[in-house]
Amino acid sequence: MVQGSITVDASVFLSAHNFAEAHQAESLRFLQLLGASTQPVVLPTLVIPEVGASAHRISGNAETAQSLALSIARIPGVIFVPLNEQMAEESMQIALESSLKGSDAIYAATARRFGATLVTLDQQQRTRLPEDVRALYPGEAL
């Protein structure tokens, strides 16, 4: 498992629980190992509504989506980073410099602030990240 703090993009949580997803097995294995580790997991609070809303669109089941989203808070060592004014400005700067979507920039700003490795399945996010933000696929992070 990659060393140090980790930030996990919503794409990994969603992939791990979607059997139709190509990277489901590696995402699930990554999250299982992460849950068994003592590594700091630094996540923007955005991850909860983003995972919940996306899981609901995929499954059509609000209870399942809510359960998945709220289970993120039970990851050992999780630290939630709120989107306050300072984080919003940092995220905006990253978005403007890197042509990232706003939500992708929030994950990047969170990883940058805490020196965390960003684990994501989002190819566009990976290719546009600032050079000082390290990104890996779940399989690479194992």
87 is a domain residue: yes
Report pLDDT for 19: 85
33 is a domain residue: yes
Helix 85-98 to helix 102-114 angle, to the nearest 10 degrees?
Answer: 110
Q: Considering all CA atoms of the chain, what is the largest pairwise distance in Å, rounded to the nearest integer?
A: 39
Report pLDDT for 126: 94
Structurally, the chain folds into a number of domains equal to 1
Compute the mean pLDDT over every residue in the chain, rounded to the nearest whole number.
96
Long-range contacts of 127-130 (CB under 8 A, 24+ apart): 128/98, 128/99, 128/100, 128/104, 129/98, 129/100, 130/94, 130/97, 130/98
Whole-structure pTM value: 0.96
Q: Cβ-count burial of 34 within 10 angstroms (0-12 exposed, 13-18 middle, 19+ buried)?
A: buried
128 is a domain residue: yes
57 is a domain residue: no
- What CATH number did the domain enclosing 17 receive? 3.40.50.1010
| DSSP single-letter state for residue 73 | G
Which portions of the chain are predicted below pLDDT 50? none
- Give CA angle at 56 (26, 40), nearest 5°: 45
38 is a domain residue: yes
How many CB atoms within 10 Å of residue 82? Answer: 10
Q: Which domain holds residue 14?
A: 6-46+77-141
Cα separation, 102 vs 28, whole angstroms: 26
Structure confidence by residue, pLDDT tens digits, 45-59: 999 999 999 999 999
113 is a domain residue: yes
